[in-house]
Chain A
């Protein structure tokens, strides 16, 4: 597939935004359970704002993917069948949740909505956070299912796609949250960095699993089934046009195999290896934590762009069987 930059930015930006929000909720949950000190609501407000910025940028990027963005409102209509439609519904819902969550923190409006057994109060922000987390997860699933649901793209058509989108989004969000915590100097760095490392390494495991899986894929369609002729040796000579078409632009990356391989190693190093090292370093060297952790996020984000590029480039659409040769 052709990796469109709009989609690369969309998925990575909102992934980080979702992850960041989940990290904020994590902190709040930790705090509620007393595992970390209660945080200044400003931290959550700021984090939510940052999350919203990322989500907004992602949304903005997504419009570049549409031929007719002015009609984007129509997309909500087919939620029963279309994951894309679902994503379009969940994304603003999630953004709304983040906004309200952030607003509640910023305004310090956090009444208890009741108590749980054991007299544990249920603060409003906690409920909002749970709703947000559910929406964030739903958004991860919706986004990933846009790809995973396309059975023709066998590289994508796997639960691993959902797992990877979720884990990688969370990893980048937690890394960002770690950097934010370092900047805020609120002592959350070790906890968040720990989770960021865990998520990054889990992501490494599942992403590697999908690489291994994809390397073993046997294409379901062949030239034989594509044109319905049973002969071991079939070659296309002409695809019907010579100056290119939508079908040669949308479904091919038009890059060399070497380039694709280079991107793969880039994303493996940049998404997983370097951030892990930098996160650990950020914990070990608190004096340099801000720089190290910001660097960790930037490198990881760049790595994710590469990862997403590779995700598209690696996906081999069966339609390409029909577009192999021009003469």
Chain B
């Protein structure tokens, strides 16, 4: 069984928000759109976005880590938002595990958002239905676009390739491999929701320089500290001592 998902590599995410606006851009004019913007040129602009990048500071100065943290629907394998939906508008696709909302069935009761601990569902204030990440389901199977392009808009956009996309049930997929090899983890595992999306942690590269590595046989100071010999004619003790 296929379970499509995003794997987000916090080790390389610089927090540029490319995934945020490329998602908005694709989806507002796509099957999931339009995604409203309220007060777009007024106080407190607010709109529907499927994906947000947040910033956290971990630790205290000077050992602070600044962590940029993109977050969208995690397409849980046990999605708590699905059974609570009174109309069946919120559903998980059997064929690929994508959790979707049927906008024609949704009554906008917001109950699914209460049943999501991740805060990734947003009611569109204008259409008054629940919306969320679709993993760009209107891109990834679209035969009219070239195969390399059949990826979620955020994945296509991400300049640091911090967003990997694939089937986490296929052990040979790039995403499964990344999770396996780089310590991929799930958010809030305590709820048993089994998010399909995973995150890869920060990884540090260090260089250890040992004392004896600084001094070396090919140290150029061995050449450069050899200053010219004084000329034979220059004064010396030999000229003045006679005992």
Q: Which A residues contact B (CB, under 8 angstroms)?
A: 1, 65-69, 71-72, 74-78, 81-85, 88, 146, 149-153, 220-221, 223, 225-229, 231, 233-241, 243-247, 250-251, 317-320, 322-323, 327
Contact = CB atoms under 8 A, between A and B. Distances in A.
Interface of B: 17, 20, 39, 43-49, 52-60, 65-67, 69, 71, 80, 82-89, 105-111, 113-119, 121-123, 125, 127-130, 185-191, 199, 201
B125 A241 contact: no
B56 A234 contact: yes
A78 B86 contact: yes
Given A1-B114, A83-B84, A227 B109 contact: no
B216 to A, nearest CB: 39
B107 A234 contact: no
- The 10 tightest CB contacts between A and B, nearest first, are A67-B108, A67-B128, A319-B119, A240-B52, A81-B83, A85-B86, A243-B44, A75-B86, A238-B55, A74-B87
B84 A225 contact: no
Contacts of A317: 114, 117, 119
Contact of B118 (A69, A237, A319): A319
A221 B109 contact: no
A250 B48 CA distance: 14
Given A226-B188, A251-B119, A246 B113 contact: yes
A228 B53 contact: no
A239 B109 contact: no
B56 A67 contact: no
Contacts of B105: 71, 74
A243 B39 contact: yes
Contacts of B86: 74-78, 82, 84-85, 88
Given A72-B107, A228-B201, A245-B122, A152 B52 contact: no
23 contacts: A1-B114, A67-B107, A74-B88, A77-B87, A82-B111, A84-B111, A149-B84, A151-B80, A151-B191, A152-B115, A220-B190, A227-B56, A227-B187, A234-B57, A235-B57, A238-B54, A239-B54, A240-B54, A243-B43, A245-B47, A250-B113, A317-B119, A318-B188
